Structure 1
């Protein structure tokens, strides 16, 4: 007779539309040198229409002595949440840094903002001994970097800026395939580096380039990971282009430009006249 794998966990739903599941990862969150969260029983929570999860933690695994009832609660910022907390550490006050969800299933848990840039989040988050950036990684999402011999050409405004038979294709759940091209196969003379950067919990920190004189092209349309996370190490140093803003031809077939959450963001960037 067989028995279910003892650690198998199913995603559960609440009447409020939240999805959640227990996680077995050891998660810590720090503000400066102070550990605010130290949890071996975190819960992953997905809010309606939000593509990435967040963590909620049992109250006893949170430094509740550092929390204060929010002076200006961000009512409506999270699904049905009415109770918010400000976080005070060494005289530094972060407004609405934490909150509770109204769902009975999540009673006794406190969730935290992750985005440090918002002025609300903690400085550092760790799963086991690995630092995690931007948001928790989704256990139901895959990111695969696969070397290929397919013929990929990239055009911007009718000019071929990349042509390769050795791309690395990056497949990420919920996003279009990204085509990473060796630098030797890219017209680097047409690009100029910018000071823009982004972080990804699956890939690492990316640097960006814009098209020289490309007034009709969104800035920061090209990116690269100099030191990607090990799971996608195959893209190290290669350049990728936003499919949403350039023309890509693969094996002689022109691909349609996808419409993604990045489409609106690209069109709204300063300098873009599209």
Structure 2
């Protein structure tokens, strides 16, 4: 069996961590304090977690702001040996950082990627672009491709979208998402909500809609990126549907509803 080149490039630690160096310039801030300013970050994958995190050489971290954690977590992160509280941004952020055992990652510090309740940093940047949720995986592709396929979307037997000008979004390990022009969607059948989400590859999905019908359909199954990241600019203002809970017919072929990491949160 041939091993994928990306898999060969990853290095492993005895604790089961996979890692590889990155050439991106990464910065992390807490309030108006730059806590991390690194040109030699390392991407680290923990077992059973599908997305990476960053670890940084100690000399590229404001270690003077770190204090041994007063209440380190019982489980914590795989391979973590010591946890630190962070004093920055106007307060103490518990268990915001941790270090690894001696070996390949010795001398590196990892941080909670985004601020969750009272821990983690406020903002992260790769070069001059702010990144949300988690670092972008260099082994994941996200391509937004205009198409002339005929796409029809139904909810509970009702056609809510019909287009011959979709943009197809191909994202590694996920089903194709079909982004439909707003004019080809029955917005009168949907209710706008105040829900929003962030994606490290696409930006902020600031607009969501729920099905107005009476069927047992989960909320927030339709979304749009009003101002997506430049790499996927073609989806700007278009609407997409969770394939997991709607019925999609593409060029006359009814697609099976996929099972994805989103299925559990959607209740399917």
TM over 0.5: yes
Aligned position for 1:6: none
Q: In the aligned structure 1, how far is the partner of 2:176 from the partner of 2:89?
A: 45
Are positions 1:142 and 2:141 aligned together?
Answer: yes
Question: TM-score, normalised to structure 1's length?
Answer: 0.92
Structure 2: runs of 5 or more not aligned: 1-7
Give the whole-Å Cα distance in 2 for the aligned partners of 1:223 and 1:91.
35
Runs of 4+ in structure 1 off by over 3 angstroms are: none
Q: Does 1:225 align with 2:206?
A: no
* Aligned ranges 1:47-58 → 2 under 5 Å: 47-58=46-57
Partners of 1:91 and 1:71 lie apart in 2 by 18
Which structure 1 segments of 5+ residues have no match?
Answer: 1-8, 268-273
Instruction: Kindly state the Cα deviation for residue 259 of structure 1 after the two structures are TM-superposed.
Output: 0.6
| Offset, 1:128 | 1.0
What is the CA deviation profile of residues 71-121 of structure 1, one whole-angstrom value per residue up to 9, with x for unaligned ones?
Answer: 111232211323111111154111110011236110000000012234312
**Distance in 2 between residues matched to 1:177 and 1:102, nearest whole Å:** 40
Contact 2:31–2:90 under 8 Å retained in 1: no
Cα offset for 1:129? 1.1
Distance 2:181 2:110 in 1: 41
Query: Which of 224-233 and 73-82 deviates more?
Result: 73-82
Equivalence for 1:259 = 259
Q: In 2, distance between residues paired with 1:51 and 1:11? A: 14
Task: Give the match for residue 3 of structure 2.
Answer: none
User: Counterpart in 1 of 2:43?
Assistant: 44
Which residue number in structure 1 is paired with residue 121 of structure 2?
Answer: 122
Report the secondary structure of 1:231's partner residue. Answer: helix
- CA contact 1:73–1:96 (8 Å) conserved in 2: yes
SS state of the match for residue 138, structure 2? coil
User: How far apart in 2 are the matches of 1:15 and 1:253?
Assistant: 48
Aligned equivalents of 1:110 and 1:101: distance in 2?
A: 7
Structure 1 counterpart SS, 2:210 = strand
- Aligned partners of 2:110, 2:40: CA distance in 1, in Å? 13
* Contact 2:151–2:251 (8 Å) recurs in 1: yes
Contact 2:17/2:79 (<8 A) preserved: no
- Trace 1:68-147 onto structure 2 (pairs within 5 A): 68-102=67-101, 104-147=103-146
Q: Could you tell me which residue of structure 2 aligns to residue 22 of structure 1?
A: 21
Assess if the C-alpha contact under 8 Å between 1:244 and 1:260 holds in 2.
Answer: yes
